[in-house]
Structure 1
Amino acid sequence: MEENGKDSGIVYHGPISSKVKKVKLLFLSTCCLLVSLGPVIAFMTSPEMNVILKGAVASSVIFLSASSTVALHWFVNPYVHKLRWQPGSDTFKVEMTSWLATYLPKIAH
Protein backbone atom coordinates (compact mmCIF):
# COMPACT_ATOMS: atom_id res chain seq x y z
CA MET A 1 0.00 0.00 0.00
CA GLU A 2 2.77 2.45 -0.77
CA GLU A 3 2.47 5.14 -3.36
CA ASN A 4 5.38 7.42 -4.29
CA GLY A 5 7.43 6.22 -1.30
CA LYS A 6 4.79 7.15 1.28
CA ASP A 7 2.23 5.00 3.06
CA SER A 8 -1.22 5.58 1.65
CA GLY A 9 -4.24 5.96 3.86
CA ILE A 10 -2.39 6.78 7.09
CA VAL A 11 -4.73 8.71 9.34
CA TYR A 12 -2.56 8.76 12.46
CA HIS A 13 1.09 8.12 13.21
CA GLY A 14 2.10 7.83 16.88
CA PRO A 15 4.50 10.66 17.72
CA ILE A 16 6.55 8.66 20.23
CA SER A 17 6.24 5.17 18.72
CA SER A 18 9.97 4.89 18.00
CA LYS A 19 10.75 5.81 21.60
CA VAL A 20 8.23 3.26 22.88
CA LYS A 21 9.87 0.57 20.76
CA LYS A 22 13.37 1.51 21.98
CA VAL A 23 12.30 1.47 25.64
CA LYS A 24 10.62 -1.91 25.19
CA LEU A 25 13.77 -3.30 23.57
CA LEU A 26 15.86 -1.89 26.43
CA PHE A 27 13.61 -3.51 29.05
CA LEU A 28 13.57 -6.82 27.16
CA SER A 29 17.35 -6.93 26.79
CA THR A 30 17.98 -6.07 30.44
CA CYS A 31 15.38 -8.63 31.51
CA CYS A 32 17.08 -11.35 29.46
CA LEU A 33 20.49 -10.32 30.77
CA LEU A 34 19.38 -10.31 34.40
CA VAL A 35 17.48 -13.59 34.10
CA SER A 36 20.52 -15.30 32.63
CA LEU A 37 23.28 -13.62 34.65
CA GLY A 38 21.49 -12.70 37.89
CA PRO A 39 21.83 -16.13 39.51
CA VAL A 40 25.45 -16.45 38.38
CA ILE A 41 26.36 -13.09 39.90
CA ALA A 42 24.44 -13.85 43.10
CA PHE A 43 26.18 -17.19 43.60
CA MET A 44 29.66 -15.96 42.59
CA THR A 45 29.74 -13.03 45.01
CA SER A 46 29.93 -13.17 48.79
CA PRO A 47 31.17 -16.72 49.39
CA GLU A 48 30.36 -16.43 53.10
CA MET A 49 26.65 -15.78 52.39
CA ASN A 50 24.14 -18.57 52.98
CA VAL A 51 23.03 -20.50 49.87
CA ILE A 52 19.36 -19.93 50.69
CA LEU A 53 19.97 -16.19 50.93
CA LYS A 54 21.83 -16.25 47.60
CA GLY A 55 18.86 -18.06 46.04
CA ALA A 56 16.51 -15.45 47.48
CA VAL A 57 18.62 -12.63 46.03
CA ALA A 58 18.76 -14.30 42.60
CA SER A 59 14.99 -14.94 42.67
CA SER A 60 14.29 -11.31 43.64
CA VAL A 61 16.45 -10.01 40.79
CA ILE A 62 14.65 -12.23 38.29
CA PHE A 63 11.22 -11.34 39.68
CA LEU A 64 11.84 -7.58 39.68
CA SER A 65 13.30 -7.62 36.18
CA ALA A 66 10.48 -9.70 34.73
CA SER A 67 7.73 -7.80 36.55
CA SER A 68 9.02 -4.40 35.41
CA THR A 69 9.14 -5.65 31.81
CA VAL A 70 5.59 -7.00 32.07
CA ALA A 71 4.40 -3.76 33.69
CA LEU A 72 5.92 -1.69 30.90
CA HIS A 73 4.24 -3.88 28.27
CA TRP A 74 0.90 -3.63 30.06
CA PHE A 75 1.23 0.15 30.30
CA VAL A 76 2.17 0.81 26.64
CA ASN A 77 0.21 -2.07 25.10
CA PRO A 78 -2.71 0.14 23.93
CA TYR A 79 -0.34 2.66 22.29
CA VAL A 80 -1.09 2.96 18.55
CA HIS A 81 1.90 3.14 16.19
CA LYS A 82 -0.08 3.72 12.99
CA LEU A 83 -3.73 3.98 12.12
CA ARG A 84 -4.45 3.34 8.45
CA TRP A 85 -7.79 3.65 6.73
CA GLN A 86 -8.79 0.78 4.46
CA PRO A 87 -10.09 2.46 1.28
CA GLY A 88 -13.57 1.42 0.27
CA SER A 89 -14.52 0.04 3.65
CA ASP A 90 -15.35 1.17 7.16
CA THR A 91 -12.35 -0.58 8.75
CA PHE A 92 -9.03 0.70 10.01
CA LYS A 93 -5.77 -1.18 10.18
CA VAL A 94 -4.15 -0.47 13.54
CA GLU A 95 -0.48 -1.21 14.22
CA MET A 96 0.48 -1.73 17.86
CA THR A 97 3.62 -3.10 19.47
CA SER A 98 3.84 -6.68 20.71
CA TRP A 99 5.70 -7.74 23.83
CA LEU A 100 8.77 -8.37 21.62
CA ALA A 101 8.60 -4.76 20.33
CA THR A 102 7.47 -5.76 16.85
CA TYR A 103 4.49 -4.15 15.15
CA LEU A 104 1.26 -6.15 15.17
CA PRO A 105 -1.43 -5.28 12.65
CA LYS A 106 -5.00 -5.41 13.91
CA ILE A 107 -8.28 -4.60 12.20
CA ALA A 108 -10.70 -2.17 13.85
CA HIS A 109 -14.31 -1.75 12.71
Structure 2
Amino acid sequence: MLADGLFNAGHVIGPRAEFPDGATPDHLPAEFTISLTAAGEAPVSLEGRHPDGNVLLPIAWLANFLSERGLGLQAGQAVITGSYAGALELPLGRQLDIGFGALGALPIRFLFLNRSP
Protein backbone atom coordinates (compact mmCIF):
# COMPACT_ATOMS: atom_id res chain seq x y z
CA MET A 1 0.00 0.00 0.00
CA LEU A 2 1.40 3.41 -0.92
CA ALA A 3 0.28 6.03 1.58
CA ASP A 4 1.33 8.95 -0.61
CA GLY A 5 -0.27 7.74 -3.86
CA LEU A 6 3.01 7.22 -5.74
CA PHE A 7 3.43 4.58 -8.40
CA ASN A 8 6.47 2.36 -8.68
CA ALA A 9 7.82 -0.62 -10.59
CA GLY A 10 8.41 -2.43 -7.33
CA HIS A 11 9.82 -2.03 -3.90
CA VAL A 12 12.04 -3.98 -1.56
CA ILE A 13 11.25 -4.72 2.02
CA GLY A 14 14.57 -5.37 3.70
CA PRO A 15 15.28 -6.79 7.11
CA ARG A 16 13.61 -5.22 10.09
CA ALA A 17 15.59 -2.20 11.32
CA GLU A 18 16.25 -2.27 15.03
CA PHE A 19 16.16 0.97 16.95
CA PRO A 20 19.02 1.78 19.34
CA ASP A 21 18.12 1.47 23.03
CA GLY A 22 15.50 4.01 23.98
CA ALA A 23 14.76 5.10 20.39
CA THR A 24 11.24 4.96 18.92
CA PRO A 25 9.82 5.54 15.43
CA ASP A 26 9.64 9.23 16.42
CA HIS A 27 13.46 9.21 16.21
CA LEU A 28 13.52 8.24 12.51
CA PRO A 29 15.57 10.82 10.63
CA ALA A 30 13.89 13.19 8.20
CA GLU A 31 17.17 13.41 6.26
CA PHE A 32 20.18 11.16 5.70
CA THR A 33 22.71 10.29 3.02
CA ILE A 34 21.79 7.50 0.63
CA SER A 35 24.70 5.75 -1.03
CA LEU A 36 24.51 3.56 -4.12
CA THR A 37 27.45 1.30 -4.87
CA ALA A 38 27.66 -1.00 -7.90
CA ALA A 39 30.59 -3.37 -8.36
CA GLY A 40 33.38 -1.71 -10.34
CA GLU A 41 31.91 1.80 -10.14
CA ALA A 42 32.46 4.78 -7.91
CA PRO A 43 29.81 5.13 -5.18
CA VAL A 44 27.05 7.67 -5.73
CA SER A 45 25.73 9.68 -2.78
CA LEU A 46 22.33 11.35 -2.62
CA GLU A 47 20.93 13.58 0.06
CA GLY A 48 17.81 11.73 1.14
CA ARG A 49 14.92 13.70 2.56
CA HIS A 50 11.46 12.41 3.41
CA PRO A 51 8.86 14.39 1.40
CA ASP A 52 6.74 15.07 4.50
CA GLY A 53 9.67 15.78 6.79
CA ASN A 54 8.34 13.08 9.12
CA VAL A 55 7.94 9.44 8.08
CA LEU A 56 4.98 8.99 10.48
CA LEU A 57 2.74 11.72 8.99
CA PRO A 58 1.60 9.67 5.95
CA ILE A 59 0.85 6.66 8.17
CA ALA A 60 -1.32 8.80 10.45
CA TRP A 61 -3.09 10.28 7.42
CA LEU A 62 -3.71 6.81 5.95
CA ALA A 63 -4.99 5.39 9.24
CA ASN A 64 -7.44 8.33 9.60
CA PHE A 65 -8.52 8.12 5.94
CA LEU A 66 -9.24 4.39 6.23
CA SER A 67 -10.95 4.78 9.62
CA GLU A 68 -13.39 7.35 8.16
CA ARG A 69 -14.41 4.65 5.67
CA GLY A 70 -14.76 1.87 8.23
CA LEU A 71 -11.46 0.29 7.23
CA GLY A 72 -8.14 -0.07 8.96
CA LEU A 73 -4.57 -1.26 8.82
CA GLN A 74 -3.62 -4.81 9.76
CA ALA A 75 -0.69 -5.86 11.95
CA GLY A 76 2.29 -6.74 9.77
CA GLN A 77 0.93 -4.93 6.70
CA ALA A 78 3.59 -3.06 4.74
CA VAL A 79 2.88 0.63 4.14
CA ILE A 80 5.27 2.68 2.02
CA THR A 81 5.26 6.29 3.25
CA GLY A 82 7.28 7.97 0.54
CA SER A 83 10.73 7.90 -0.97
CA TYR A 84 13.70 9.65 0.58
CA ALA A 85 15.29 9.88 -2.88
CA GLY A 86 12.39 10.05 -5.36
CA ALA A 87 12.33 7.67 -8.31
CA LEU A 88 15.75 6.26 -9.10
CA GLU A 89 16.80 4.47 -12.25
CA LEU A 90 18.87 1.48 -11.15
CA PRO A 91 20.69 -1.08 -13.29
CA LEU A 92 19.18 -4.53 -13.74
CA GLY A 93 21.16 -7.69 -13.06
CA ARG A 94 23.99 -6.02 -11.12
CA GLN A 95 24.79 -6.32 -7.46
CA LEU A 96 24.11 -3.04 -5.63
CA ASP A 97 24.68 -1.96 -2.08
CA ILE A 98 22.26 0.74 -1.00
CA GLY A 99 23.19 2.57 2.20
CA PHE A 100 20.67 4.45 4.32
CA GLY A 101 22.86 6.58 6.56
CA ALA A 102 23.09 5.25 10.12
CA LEU A 103 20.05 3.01 9.52
CA GLY A 104 22.14 0.44 7.65
CA ALA A 105 22.65 -0.92 4.15
CA LEU A 106 20.87 -3.38 1.88
CA PRO A 107 22.65 -5.52 -0.72
CA ILE A 108 20.31 -6.14 -3.66
CA ARG A 109 20.10 -7.19 -7.30
CA PHE A 110 17.11 -6.17 -9.43
CA LEU A 111 16.07 -8.59 -12.15
CA PHE A 112 13.65 -8.32 -15.05
CA LEU A 113 11.21 -11.20 -15.11
CA ASN A 114 9.68 -12.00 -18.48
CA ARG A 115 6.14 -13.07 -17.75
CA SER A 116 5.01 -13.71 -21.30
CA PRO A 117 2.43 -16.50 -21.69
Same-fold call, TM > 0.5? no
Higher helix share: 1
- Please give the TM-score of this superposition, normalised by the length of structure 2: 0.26
Q: Which protein is bigger by CA-based radius of gyration?
A: 1
